[in-house]
Amino acid sequence: MSIGGYRLLKNINKIFISQTIRKASTKAEVNFQKRIFSGIQPTGGVHLGNYLGAILNWVKIQNEHSNITLSIVDLHSITLPQESEILKKRILEMTATLLACGIDPDKSTLFLQSTVPQHTQLCWQLSCLTTMARLAHLPQYKEKSEKLKDIPLGLFIYPVLQAADILVHKATHVPVGEDQAQQIQLAQHLAKIFNTKYGTTFPIPHAIIADDTSSRIRNLRNPTKKMSKSEPDPKSRIQLSDTSDAILEKVKKAVTDFTSEVYYDAENRPGVSNLMVIHSMLTGLSMEEIYQDANSKKLDTGKYKLVVAEAVANHLAPIREKINNYLSRPQYIYDILEEGRIHATEVAQKTLDEVNLKVGTILNTENNFVVS
């Protein structure tokens, strides 16, 4: 055989072996290490719905698992206009709040999204695998874009960045609210596309959706809607930073109905039922215990609101005190975020190197280009 023929045969064998390995890795069952990732935007203050529906769950998870990563997703927050100085302040407040609620930097990786550029780098890679039609069908885009005359590109593609947030850390599980389920489906979709095209690289992330009423704390002024940061009426939500007087005022003005008796019926009496859920979550009392207590004391809904307001104020007072304590030590907050950045970057860069090598945007050591 000639030298040219030998080289041709060798190259064909290399291509065949490479394709065989890729197909095998795609079909093989890869045992990914369990990793949990979640994020929260630093826009507006943390309200009771965030606390009961998400943050308490994160604290529980960090105490039960060894691998949870939490990000303050500031890049997501700028998909809509933000004042820079206010955003900086809110990032500090969000970090202080998470720490005050029980997030432990010794057990969890807590970092600021924008300080780990691998998130946006992977976002570009994933953007090349999805379509405009797919993104346009996502419900949150439809909801937010309806209110805007000019739609920022960031608002359109932010679900891809959300997928990158998850996949760059190779998260296997993502705690989310019910309204975020379709965004997780996009991350699953993109992971499958990438794995099929380039070989198994990402785990298929699974959504962890709370199966109790804590994830559905309702708007105080309109209990048919969930409690939300974006609601214009500040009386619609209880902030963790609210004083006892502010809490009392908001609970007293909470919309209920014309039936004075206190009992749980989420479908027909959403307002009173929402107050009972909040009361139960903060005290550990069951719905039956709350009903029996209110009945024995002959409490109508007006008087019951005072009981709920007291329970909320008592629970949030020490958290508010801790938040203020952390905010008085900004350097401590910076140090926590820097430690988180270092760890998050290490994980994210390893993933990005693997992605770039498979895609072809970085060369391997055989081509004299060293992968970090």
Would you name the residues annotated as active-site residues?
A: 144, 226, 229
Q: Which helix (H) or strand (E) holds 333?
A: helix 330-359
The residue among 161, 160, 174, 159 whose CA lies nearest residue 204 is 174
Neighbours of 270 (CB within 10 A): 19
Q: What is the dihedral of CA 54, 60, 61, 62, to 10 degrees?
A: 110
As beta bridge partners, residue 239 has 47
Neighbours of 69 (CB within 10 A): 23
Helices (H) and strands (E) in the chain, counts: 15, 5
Strands 68-72 and 36-40: parallel
How far, in Å, are 158, 160, 235, 244, 309 from residue 248 at the CA level? 37, 41, 11, 6, 5
Neighbours of 294 (CB within 10 A): 21
Beta-strand ranges (E) seen in the chain are 36-40, 68-72, 108-112, 173-176, 206-209
d(CA 336, CA 343): 11
**Terminal Cα distance for the chain, rounded:** 40
- Which residues make Cβ contacts (< 8 Å) with residue 290, sequence separation at least 6? 262, 264, 276, 279, 280
d(CA 294, CA 261): 8
d(CA 302, CA 256): 9
Answer for the pair 108, 169: CB distance below 8 angstroms, yes or no: no
Helix (H, G, I), strand (E, B) or coil at 240: coil
Answer for the pair 336, 95: CB distance below 8 angstroms, yes or no: yes
